[in-house]
Amino acid sequence: MRLLVTLSVLLGLSSVAMADEGWRPLWNGRDFSGWSTWLQRPEPSSTVPGLARAADGKYLEPIGANRDPLHVFTIAEVDGRAAIRISGEVFGELRTARSLQDYHLRLQFRWGEKKWPPRHKPETRRDSGLLYHVHTAPGAEGRTWARSIELQIQEHDVGDLWAVGSRIAVRAKPQPGTEPPRWIYDPAGEWKVFSQVPGAEGRCVKQPDNEKPFGEWNTVELICLGEDTVHVVNGKVVMRLHGPQRIDGPAPAPVTGGPIILQSEGAEIFYRDIEVRPITSIPPEFSE
């Protein structure tokens, strides 16, 4: 009897430990409470009543904040479960109200079928993105994308870096035979600073490509601790980054926290199981 009681206690403690890993939903699965939207100027092929157009049909102003007449951001049932559907019809953002720092984020995504101008051609890869360390307001400076660091979510490029009006360092090497050089993540490479500004290189390509085939759900994880960041795709580390900085002030300054953004960028995509937990160290399964 004592053995059974002891075993029951141990099993109970194990269950509590598994349930108490600190994960909390960042999306409630029902509505967009805790999130805001912002949409850029639509393409002429879209119809938005009341939005000013020029004589050539081009829109003159963005749709703006928390206004979604084209239902770019909705909630759908996919594979029997609730998911965020981003249609992609207009470039824009779905942004958390919360500012995050020292955290482990994970989510699942799956591509939809629909594509929209100007990225509607068959050869154009479906595109979205997870922006983090966001540090400017929607539409500030006339920008489509807020200054941030991007974990790229694009067909065959999931896990790439784009330093969106910011800068950050990655160990990388140039891909042989490319001019200008195409930089590839290499844990044994030299540190290189990336910045998406004129005259600099803003992209670093992840390694390896660990995205699942079209139609399957992918799990993306983002680990941010101090000045260190890790991009993880389907359980595999595809890039380590260090030293994020904002460059919109008189001098570069560290930026190690902020809201996150899910992009609408010309392609239908579904997101689900968006959750986050605070961390004080890199999880051992993803440490070097």
What integer is the mean pLDDT of 227-241?
98
Nearest to 107 by CA among 213, 260, 215, 258: 260
Report the C-alpha gap between 98 and 35 in whole angstroms: 8
Report the C-alpha gap between 38 and 92 in whole angstroms: 6
Of the listed ranges 15-19, 58-62, 170-174, 190-194, the one predicted with least confidence: 15-19
Nearest to 202 by CA among 239, 170, 236: 170
* Assigned token pair, 246: 């904002």
How many domains does the structure of the chain reveal? 1
Check residue 21 and give its pLDDT. 81
Q: What is the DSSP letter of 213?
A: P
Flag whether 70 is in a domain: yes
Q: What is the DSSP letter of 2?
A: H
What integer is the mean pLDDT of 3-30?
61
The pLDDT confidence band at residue 288, using thresholds 50, 70 and 90, is confident
Examine the pLDDT at 6 and tell me if it is beyond 90: no
CATH of the domain at 238: 2.60.120.560
pLDDT for 156-196, tens place per residue? Answer: 999 999 999 999 999 999 999 998 899 999 999 999 999 99
Flag whether 4 is in a domain: no
Q: What is the DSSP string of 5-49?
A: HHHHHHHHHHHHHHHTS--EESS-SSS-TTEEEEE-PPPTTS--T
What integer is the mean pLDDT of 50-54?
97
Residue 98 lies in domain: 25-278
Question: Residue 3: which H helix or E strand, with range?
Answer: helix 2-19
Examine the pLDDT at 18 and tell me if it is beyond 50: no
Flag whether 9 is in a domain: no
Examine the pLDDT at 11 and tell me if it is beyond 90: no
Examine the pLDDT at 225 and tell me if it is beyond 70: yes
Classify residue 85 by burial, with Cβ atoms within 10 Å: 0-12, 13-18, 19+.
Answer: buried
Examine the pLDDT at 209 and tell me if it is beyond 90: yes
What integer is the mean pLDDT of 270-281?
98
Flag whether 285 is in a domain: no
Nearest to 84 by CA among 160, 147, 32: 32
Q: Give percent above pLDDT 70 in the chain.
A: 93
- Asked if residue 231 lies in contact with residue 59, where contact means CB atoms within 8 angstroms, the answer is no
Of the listed ranges 3-17, 44-58, 168-182, 261-275, the one predicted with least confidence: 3-17
Examine the pLDDT at 245 and tell me if it is beyond 80: yes
Flag whether 65 is in a domain: yes
**Model pTM?**
0.92
Check residue 16 and give its pLDDT. 40
What is the three-state SS of 48-94? Answer: CCCCCECCCCCECCCCEECCCCCCCEEEEEECCEEEEEECCCCCEEE
At 99, which amino acid appears? S
Nearest to 105 by CA among 26, 43, 199, 48: 26
Flag whether 190 is in a domain: yes
pLDDT for 118-153, tens place per residue? Answer: 999 999 999 999 999 999 999 999 999 999 999 999
Flag whether 198 is in a domain: yes
Helix (H, G, I), strand (E, B) or coil at 176: coil
Q: What is the DSSP string of 165-211?
A: TEEEEEEEEEPTT-SSPPEEE-TTSEEEEE-BSTTS--EEB-SS--P
Flag whether 44 is in a domain: yes
Check residue 279 and give its pLDDT. 98
What integer is the mean pLDDT of 61-86?
98
